[in-house]
Structure 1
Amino acid sequence: MQWISPRKLKRLGMLNMNRRNVDYIARYNDRSAYPLVDNKLKTKLIMEEYGVNTPKLFQVVRQQHEISHFRELVQDLSGFAIKPAKGSGGKGITVVTGRDGDQFVKASGAAIGTDVLERHLSNILAGLYSLAGSPDVAIVEDLVQCSPALARYSVEGVPDIRIVVFQGYPVMAMLRLATRASDGKANLHQGAVGVGLDIGTGKSLNAVQFNRPVSMHPDTGLPLENIAIEDWQTMLDMAARCYEATGLGYMGVDLVLDANQGPLLLELNARPGLAIQMANGRGLLPRLRHLEALKRPHFSPGERVRYVMDSFAAL
């Protein structure tokens, strides 16, 4: 897999934090739209109106007294996820993958009781994981059953696909693979592997961990050079439609590939990080400037997707 040094990447148009904040986030993102993407429940509900699938919603816990209904709900469930609506960076998310008698088994293999989950719900309501420490609501949703083709590359966590979308055009994408170092979370800052994806085909380009090149997953030992994402054009189309749903000009769209339901939206991010450039071995600026210079923007998500697949495919 080709590796490009940070110095060379800068020459190739690497977008830095200051320029991202001033020239793209501040310029193209209306702050009135932030509450929509900073709240997973609001995101889920609006996306339904635009035909973007998300994991099935089981329960919304808004008040302490509603926690008692949670115990009834999960009696017949073997897998589910609990998320704070306003959490960030994966904080406060608990994933249950199975049962062991009266105990629930987490993705890590640890077994916990219903009382532990109820305390977790209470902590979410108190705002322990929310962005500003403000009171929050808890979401209980269906467990994502990751596509076997991708699941084998990840450890103790579901791999996801981050797509940066600018003015409705998907401009860059990467696959994020959980590792033992990242504690099963698809977070590059915690040690997950980022695999750059060719926007034209969904095939892997480069891979990094802690901003250093890797050719194999550190835990599974599987090579990362021949990964191809199923339903790639569908994922790009979903990402493009998020522009109409939110009005945000610059955002990150996080998707997963479910074995039964296909691509699903996990969440949106109005301030996506820049590590995606290292994973791809190329900078965002040339693509962003290319789109800014368009004299005739494409109005439908499908047209925008076809345009970027032709224009930004890896050579």
Structure 2
Amino acid sequence: MFLASYRKLKKHGVVGLNHRNISLIQKLNRRDLYPLVDNKLKTKELAQKAGIPIPALLGIIEEQHSAEALIASLPTDQGFVIKPARGSSGKGVMVVPKQKMDRKGVVRYQKSNGRLMERSDVLHHISNIISGLYSLGGYRDIAMVEELVKPHPFFDPIAWEGLPDVRIVVMRGYPIMAMIRLPTSHSQGRANLHQGAVGVGINIATGVMTTGVQFNRLVSEHPDTLVEFGGLRIPEWRKQLEMAASCYEMTGLGYLGCDIILDAQRGPLLLELNARPGLNIQIANNQGLGINVAKAAEWLELEESPAERVSRAIAAFGGGEEPLPEEEPARAYAGV
């Protein structure tokens, strides 16, 4: 029975952990380059040099004694995000959408779930980040304070109290599979699948959303808004593909998960990179990753620009779908 199941999965191109680790990550990613993506500060520096847009960095905190001055200096009319430079899977990220001042003139900080915090709560969280509570390996870390990105209005009906992000897996700069992660009430507004966000597959050629998955179960609508996402087309899709493709030159890593967010004013922004992208993207797309990996392997000796690589991937992985003009939506939301 096990052998039959294994053969069936292999036939459909399903990639398992061993295959991913040995044939993709170890083969295509040099270990000395991992710090470029494991450290979000280094990723930001690389992106700035490469001209890839990123969320603005408001400050960094390396020592606890400098935390209060930086937090106090932030304009009270804007939100912000605190995250560990070496964190993973969304651990240690604190989103503060609003700051409020009480009758005594004391600033309070509102989390995504609406709960108000004292400044001491924020400083305690920063202390935990610096001590390495959320870092890879538990090593001492740096707290980053970033601007709060305002989600594109496209996402209003299909996300709950949070910021969706697009994950594009690239192999030597060729986009081979993509999905979007939608925050839910169960994930408390976070776009992390293991916390309950919904992952939805994306057609590479068109940017159209297809099947969805939550907790490894197929879903067709957002569990909180009940809006069906199949057939919806993500704005500025070609730009996001080219951004992800450019990360190969930027880092030198041949197998990457590129996480991109869509800001209401600035458009696509590179959020972070992952040298060990997970495999749930196969469930979201209802397709094995190995089929696209095998195809992309035929192109690895070609010398093409990011734009040329995107065009080749669109032609190969679009499932026969013709790319849509950027201004043409796939369909409108019903009743929105």
- 1:184 CA displacement: 1.7
Q: 1:305 aligns with which of 293, 306, 310?
A: 310
- 1:282 CA displacement: 0.9
In structure 1, distance between residues paired with 2:279 and 2:20? 9
User: Is 1:212 aligned to 2:229, yes or no?
Assistant: no
What residue number does 1:21 align with?
Answer: 21
The C-alpha deviation readout for 1:102-141, integer Å capped at 9, x for no partner, is 2111111111121211111111111111111111001101
The C-alpha deviation readout for 1:50-74, integer Å capped at 9, x for no partner, is 1111100100111122113223322
Identity of aligned residues (%): 48
Aligned residue for 2:175, secondary structure, equals: strand
In structure 2, distance between residues paired with 1:40 and 1:135? 14
Calculate the TM-score normalised by the size of structure 2. 0.89
What residue number does 1:86 align with?
Answer: 86
Unpaired segments ≥5 residues, structure 2: 102-106, 321-336
- 1:6 CA displacement: 11
Aligned residue for 2:228, secondary structure, equals: coil
Unpaired segments ≥5 residues, structure 1: none
Report the more deviating stretch, 158-167 or 60-69. 60-69
Q: Aligned in 2, Cα 1:77/1:85: closer, same or farther, shift over 3 Å? A: farther
- 1:78 CA displacement: 2.2
Query: What is the one-letter code of the residue matched to 2:126?
Result: L
In structure 1, distance between residues paired with 2:256 and 2:313? 16
What is the correspondence of 1:98-247 to structure 2 with a 5 Å cutoff?
A: 98-101=98-101, 102-247=107-252
Query: What is the one-letter code of the residue matched to 2:39?
Result: N
- 1:36 CA displacement: 1.0
Aligned pair count?
311
What is the correspondence of 1:263-302 to structure 2 with a 5 Å cutoff?
A: 263-294=268-299, 297-302=302-307
Please say if residues 97 and 143 of structure 1, whose CA atoms lie closer than 8 Å, have aligned partners that are also in contact: yes
The C-alpha deviation readout for 1:253-291, integer Å capped at 9, x for no partner, is 000000011000111000000000110111111211112
Q: Aligned in 2, Cα 1:295/1:96: closer, same or farther, shift over 3 Å? A: closer
Please say if residues 298 and 304 of structure 1, whose CA atoms lie closer than 8 Å, have aligned partners that are also in contact: no
In structure 2, distance between residues paired with 1:227 and 1:240? 23
Report the more deviating stretch, 204-213 or 254-263. 204-213
Aligned residue for 1:194, secondary structure, equals: strand
The C-alpha deviation readout for 1:224-250, integer Å capped at 9, x for no partner, is 112211010000011011100111110
What residue number does 1:57 align with?
Answer: 57
In structure 2, distance between residues paired with 1:154 and 1:103? 26
Query: What is the one-letter code of the residue matched to 2:295?
Result: H
In structure 1, distance between residues paired with 2:83 and 2:121? 15
What residue number does 1:33 align with?
Answer: 33
Aligned residue for 2:229, secondary structure, equals: coil
Aligned residue for 1:127, secondary structure, equals: coil
Please say if residues 9 and 281 of structure 1, whose CA atoms lie closer than 8 Å, have aligned partners that are also in contact: no
Aligned residue for 1:132, secondary structure, equals: helix
In structure 2, distance between residues paired with 1:15 and 1:136? 33
* Aligned CA-pair RMSD: 1.7
Please say if residues 156 and 184 of structure 1, whose CA atoms lie closer than 8 Å, have aligned partners that are also in contact: yes
In structure 1, distance between residues paired with 2:185 and 2:265? 26
Question: Who wins on radius of gyration, i.e. which is larger?
Answer: 2
What residue number does 2:261 align with?
Answer: 256
Report the more deviating stretch, 75-84 or 246-255. 75-84
- 1:40 CA displacement: 0.7
Aligned residue for 1:176, secondary structure, equals: strand
Please say if residues 6 and 278 of structure 1, whose CA atoms lie closer than 8 Å, have aligned partners that are also in contact: no
In structure 2, distance between residues paired with 1:6 and 1:295? 28
Please say if residues 151 and 158 of structure 1, whose CA atoms lie closer than 8 Å, have aligned partners that are also in contact: no
Aligned residue for 1:265, secondary structure, equals: strand
